[in-house]
Amino acid sequence: MGEGVSAGNDGPMWEPVVVPGPEPDWRPAPECQGGNPNPAMQYGMWGSMVLAYRPIGVLPPPFAAYVERLVLTVEQSWEDLGSVDVAVFRLGGHLFALSRFTDGGDAVTVWLDRRAVDGEGALAALVEVLGVPGDCVRDISWSPHPATQYVPSAPTPVTSPRRRAGWGGRFAALVPAWVPGGRER
C-alpha cells in the first residue's frame, strides 16, 4: 500500500498523532491507586471477568494436569492479589474457569458462570470428565481467593454431615464433608 492509501477505504489515512509520555510522578496503572497520581487503573483480563463467575469448589494441585486433561490453553493475568493462571472453558451447557495464583498456593479454584442454577450438577459433571475422585474436591472455604469469603451459602437442611458442609444433591454422594485441616465433620 502506498502512503496516504488505506485498505478498503477511499478516504485519506489517519495522520499519526504525537502522544506525550506519562507524567513523571505516574506509577504503572496496574498498581493500587492509593497514592498513585496516574488517573488510569488497569485491570487484567481475569480481574475484569471474575465477577461473572462464582467459586464452587477447590481441586488439589497440579493445575497443569487439569489443563492437559481437557487440552486447554492457560491465560496469564493478574488481580489485586497477584499473578494468576486461568483456563476458561465450556463443558456441556456450563461455563467454567479454573484458576490458581502463581505466586504461592497450589489450590485450584473452580469457578462457574453465575447464571448457572445447578452448581452441584455442574461440578459433578466436571469431576467426571476430569476423571478424578469426587472426594478430592473441597468446598470453597479452601480457596485462597478472597471472593470466596463473600459468597452467600444457600440454606440447606441440617440432616447429614454433607448438608451441614453446604453440599447436597447429586454431588453430595461423591464428596465427604471437609473442614480446613482435613478433618471430616
List, for residues 18-68, the tens digit of each pLDDT value.
999 999 999 887 766 678 888 888 878 887 788 899 999 999 999 999 999
Q: Taking the chain, what is the end-to-end CA distance rounded to the nearest angstrom?
A: 71
Q: Quick one: how far is CA 10 from the chain centroid?
A: 45
Return the C-alpha cell found at 39. 488517573
The DSSP code for 144 is: S
List, for residues 87-96, the tens digit of each pLDDT value.
999 998 999 9
pLDDT (0 to 100) of residue 11 = 67
Q: Hey, which bits of 21-128 come out as E strands?
A: 53-59, 75-79, 82-91, 94-101, 108-113
pTM of the model: 0.65
